[in-house]
Amino acid sequence: GIQVEQSPPDLILQEGANSTLRCNFSDSVNNLQWFHQNPWGQLINLFYIPSGTKQNGRLSATTVATERYSLLYISSSQTTDSGVYFCAVERSETSGSRLTFGEGTQLTVNP
Amino acid sequence: DVKVTQSSRYLVKRTGEKVFLECVQDMDHENMFWYRQDPGLGLRLIYFSYDVKMKEKGDIPEGYSVSREKKERFSLILESASTNQTSMYLCASTRVRLFGPQHFGDGTRLSIL
């Protein structure tokens, strides 16, 4: 099956800093999503981005499908950004949003 | 906003019990999913469903079954709970059959004693 690698595994920032999280995948995909899991365990969908660039406030994401990677940018980080960021992908055209998740990047933003 | 509601945030059961975890979505979504999340193992798909009364096995279906009698509700059943099923269980849904953003419930932390 498809492999998903996220880097870095851990990241510690001071409030106000910027960061870039990376997701590499081993095959072409039809579906790529970024999620944030907060310290209470809630998983929030940040972006559905199989290709191109999207922005939502201080967060933006870019997927370069031909080179099999995606980047999540966090600008002016806040303590509420802390948690685990997951990238998830799907290759199949028939299985209907059956995602394979990476292992995540644990982000800690200190005040 | 999409709302995916899981019936319990925390649940404690005993070995051998039959356990039901309920999930309801309010946006007429086609697809629904059950995952479990364990430290070091990430999120793993247990079962999913494309439509009422339809179900497909995910990566780790052993020891579980599911039921989808109504479009908005997807139940996960532990037929005879065991301690290795202690985990965080997450339900999710997507609007369309093929692709689209996946929305999660708040999760159920299940402990089997």
- Domain spans, chain B: 4-112
- Nearest-CA distance from A73 to chain B in Å? 19
- Establish if B88 touches chain A: CB-CB under 8 angstroms: yes
Q: Does B97 sit within 8 Å of A96, measured CB to CB? A: yes
- Establish if A85 touches chain B: CB-CB under 8 angstroms: no
Quote the CA–CA distance of A42 and A27 in Å, as a whole number: 29
C-beta of residue A4 within 8 angstroms of C-beta of residue A102:
yes
Q: For A66-86, how does the pLDDT look when each residue is reduced to its tens digit (9 = 90+)?
A: 999 999 999 999 999 999 999
Give me the pLDDT at residue A97, please: 58
Q: Does A97 sit within 8 Å of B98, measured CB to CB? A: yes
In degrees and rounded to multiples of 5, residue A55 shows phi and psi of: -135, 145
Give me the pLDDT at residue A94, please: 55
**CA distances in angstroms from B94 to A70, B4, B33, B84, listed in the order given:** 21, 10, 9, 29
Residues 6+ apart with CB under 8 A from B21: B6, B7, B8, B11, B34, B75, B76, B77, B78, B89, B91, B108, B110
Q: For B43-89, how does the pLDDT look when each residue is reduced to its tens digit (9 = 90+)?
A: 999 999 988 988 999 989 999 999 999 999 999 999 999 999 999 99
CATH architecture of structural domain A4-110: Sandwich (2.60)
pLDDT of B10 higher than 90:
yes
Residue with tokens 């193992």: B41
- Domain ranges across chain A: 4-110
- Nearest-CA distance from A84 to chain B in Å? 11
pLDDT category of residue B101 using cuts at 50, 70 and 90: confident
pLDDT category of residue A92 using cuts at 50, 70 and 90: low
- Establish if A43 touches chain B: CB-CB under 8 angstroms: yes
pLDDT of B99 higher than 80:
no
Query: B64-70 and A100-101 as β-strands: parallel, antiparallel, unpaired?
Result: unpaired
CB contacts < 8 A (A, B)? 58
Residue A69 CB-half CA count within 13 A: 11
Query: What 8-state DSSP symbol labels residue B63?
Result: T
Give me the pLDDT at residue A49, please: 94
Residue of A nearest to B50 (CA): A96
Helix, strand, coil % in chain B, rounded to nearest 5: 5, 55, 45
Q: Does B88 sit within 8 Å of A45, measured CB to CB? A: no
Under CATH, which number does the domain B4-112 receive? 2.60.40.10
List of E strands, A15-58? 19-25, 31-37, 43-48, 52-56
